[in-house]
């Protein structure tokens, strides 16, 4: 491949994917496509938080699932390439990894010998830094095979240089994309712990109770790729099913999931709520303590018929399913739903479910 064919064939398709990423906030499709013009290169896009000097989010591409898993479980913690050092490099300039860590030092590390070398990743791989705003820096590392690097380094450098200004533009647009801006304050509306998640389990926003749980790290945690998970394996498996219900099967509610705090009797109930259609790529995770029959559903706040409908919605049933099960017409079910909306001050089923959960429904 020549740089001319890259410009004519690969660059337009990459830019289409890149600017689509800017508005949906999801990077994997672009990154997987990036591998091809670099002859099957592998790599990772890191999101570096400048204030805390941490990397809360990273997207690998071209790597085998086993190596991604081992990176999460162990190798991220011994990665000898300090992301902080990339701040000292000129932004938007394509550089070699050896500008941060010499090849001689790299090949003496466990990270290189047990993780990089088996995948054919050279200490001479390349990358660049892209500021998205004053608080965040993107670090793109891309690693063609050593043989391809030796034969094509000039072409690779030119290709990446052509992409760099667009990467910066896309990263800046992604920070101000409408879905995140419109929903970023949504968790603050809840008294219980609330987390806004993307389809990749990336955290978009949290409220103070959820932030406290994350800081404690005993119940909730974030893996090296920036994805939310539950410490208890059984709870995590149920959580993944709840996310699948919302994102894949497009159900309005995933869960409830009983969350156990390891080595204690402390429990919370977790639910995943699908957001309105305009935010189809985001979901709201709520953690509620002490939910049960003694909440508003057991009080005189609702009629018996309204309570039955509310319980059905909490269990994930649709209005049609409830009407068939209850032996009533869909119009009657709609009237009961309208009464629930009026009493709770809500106007969407997802908001109604959240209202019920907050009050121990």
Tens digits of per-residue pLDDT, 307-330? 888 888 877 778 888 889 889 988
What number is the average pLDDT over the span 181-185?
46
Give the pLDDT confidence score for residue 277 in this predicted structure.
Answer: 45
Mean per-residue pLDDT over the chain, rounded: 79
- CATH number belonging to domain 3-175: 3.30.450.80
Residue 7, pLDDT above cutoff 70:
yes
> Greater confidence, 345 or 68?
68
- Report which DSSP code applies to 299: S
Distance (Å, whole) CA 162 – CA 141: 16
- The pLDDT of residue 155 is 93
- Give the helix, strand, coil percentages of the chain, each rounded to 5: 50, 20, 30
Give the pLDDT score at 144: 93
Which residues pair with residue 47 across a beta bridge?
57, 138
Rounded to 10 degrees, what is the CA torsion of 339, 340, 342, 344? Answer: 160
pLDDT (tens digit per residue) in 104-158: 999 999 999 999 999 989 999 999 998 877 778 888 999 999 889 889 999 999 9
Identity of the highest mean pLDDT range in 30-39, 72-81, 172-181, 299-308: 30-39
pLDDT recorded at residue 192: 74
Pair of tokens at residue 205: 């926003």
Q: Could you please report the per-residue DSSP string of 63-106?
A: --HHHHHHHHHTGGGG--S-GGGGGGSPTT--EEGGGTS-HHHH
Rounded Cα distance between 336 and 228, Å, is 36
d(CA 145, CA 150): 9
pLDDT digits (tens, 9 = 90+) for 253-281: 787 787 766 655 556 778 888 775 444 57
Q: Whole-angstrom Cα distance, residue 207 to residue 321?
A: 33
Q: If you average pLDDT over each of 18-22, 81-85, 140-144, which comes out highest?
A: 140-144
CA-to-CA separations, 233 to 48, 238, 284, in angstroms, rounded: 28, 9, 21
Domains in the chain: boundaries: 3-175, 180-358
List Cβ neighbours of 149 (8 Å cut-off, separation of 6 or more). Answer: 122, 124, 125, 126, 156
Looking at the chain, the whole-number percentage of residues with pLDDT higher than 90 is: 17
pLDDT of 174 reads 72
What residues pair up with 228 in beta bridges, in sequence order? 222
pLDDT digits (tens, 9 = 90+) for 292-308: 333 445 444 567 788 88
What string of DSSP letters covers 100-161? TS-HHHHTTSHHIIIIIGGGT--TT-EEEEEESSSSEEEEEEEE--HHHHHHHHHHHHHHHH
Q: Give tens-digit pLDDT for 216-231.
A: 777 888 876 678 888 8
Q: How far apart are the first and last CA of the chain?
A: 62
Which of 62-76, 172-186, 248-262, 329-343 shows the lowest mean pLDDT across its residues? 172-186
Count of Cβ atoms closer than 10 Å to residue 14 Cβ: 20
Relative to beta strand 267-274, strand 282-288 is antiparallel
Q: Give me the pLDDT at residue 178, please.
A: 42
Cα separation, 91 vs 137, whole angstroms: 9
pLDDT of res. 286 = 82
pTM: 0.55
Among 5-14, 30-39, 99-108, 131-140, the minimum mean pLDDT is found in: 131-140
The answer to whether 58 touches 44, Cβ cutoff 8 Å, is yes
Starting at the edge strand found earlier in the chain, the sheet holding 42-49 runs 54-61, 42-49, 136-143, 126-131, 95-96
> pLDDT value at position 21?
77
- Cα(281)–Cα(26) distance, integer angstroms: 9
- DSSP states along 5-25: HIIIIIHHHHHHHHHHHHHH-
* pLDDT higher than threshold 60 for residue 84: yes
Give the three-state DSSP class for 51: coil
Identify the CATH class of 180-358.
mainly alpha
pLDDT for 263: 55
């Amino acid at each position: 491949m020549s740089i001319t064919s890259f410009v004519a064939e690969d660059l337009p398709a990459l830019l289409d994917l890149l600017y689509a990423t800017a508005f949906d906030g999801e990077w994997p499709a672009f990154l997987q496509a990036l591998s091809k013009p670099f002859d099957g290169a592998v790599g990772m896009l890191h999101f570096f938080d400048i204030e805390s000097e941490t990397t809360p989010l990273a997207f690998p591409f071209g790597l085998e699932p086993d190596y991604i898993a081992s990176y999460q479980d162990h190798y991220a913690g011994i990665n000898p390439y300090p992301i902080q050092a990339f701040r000292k490099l000129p932004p938007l300039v394509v550089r070699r990894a050896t500008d941060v860590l010499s090849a001689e030092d790299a090949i003496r590390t466990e990270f290189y010998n047990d993780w990089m070398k088996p995948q054919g990743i050279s200490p001479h791989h390349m990358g660049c830094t892209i500021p998205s705003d004053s608080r965040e820096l993107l670090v793109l590392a891309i690693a063609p095979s050593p043989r391809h690097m030796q034969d094509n380094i000039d072409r690779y450098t030119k290709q990446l240089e052509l992409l760099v200004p667009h990467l910066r533009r896309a990263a800046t647009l992604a920070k101000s994309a409408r879905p995140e801006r419109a929903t970023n304050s949504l968790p603050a509306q809840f008294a219980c712990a609330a987390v806004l998640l993307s389809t990749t389990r990336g955290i978009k926003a949290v409220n103070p109770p959820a932030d406290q749980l994350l800081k404690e790290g005993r119940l909730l945690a974030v893996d090296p790729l920036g994805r939310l998970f539950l410490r208890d394996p059984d709870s995590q498996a149920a959580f993944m099913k709840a996310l699948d219900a919302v994102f894949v099967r497009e159900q309005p509610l995933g869960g409830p999931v009983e969350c156990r705090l390891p080595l204690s009797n402390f429990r919370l109930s977790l639910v995943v709520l699908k957001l309105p259609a305009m935010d189809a790529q985001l979901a709201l995770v709520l953690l509620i303590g002490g939910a049960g029959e003694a909440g508003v559903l057991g009080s005189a706040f609702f009629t018996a018929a309204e309570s039955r409908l509310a319980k059905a919605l909490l269990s994930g049933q649709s209005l049609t399913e409830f009407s068939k099960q209850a032996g009533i017409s869909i119009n009657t079910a709609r009237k009961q739903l309208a009464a629930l909306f009026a009493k709770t001050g809500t106007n969407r089923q997802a908001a109604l479910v959240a209202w019920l959960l907050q009050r121990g429904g």
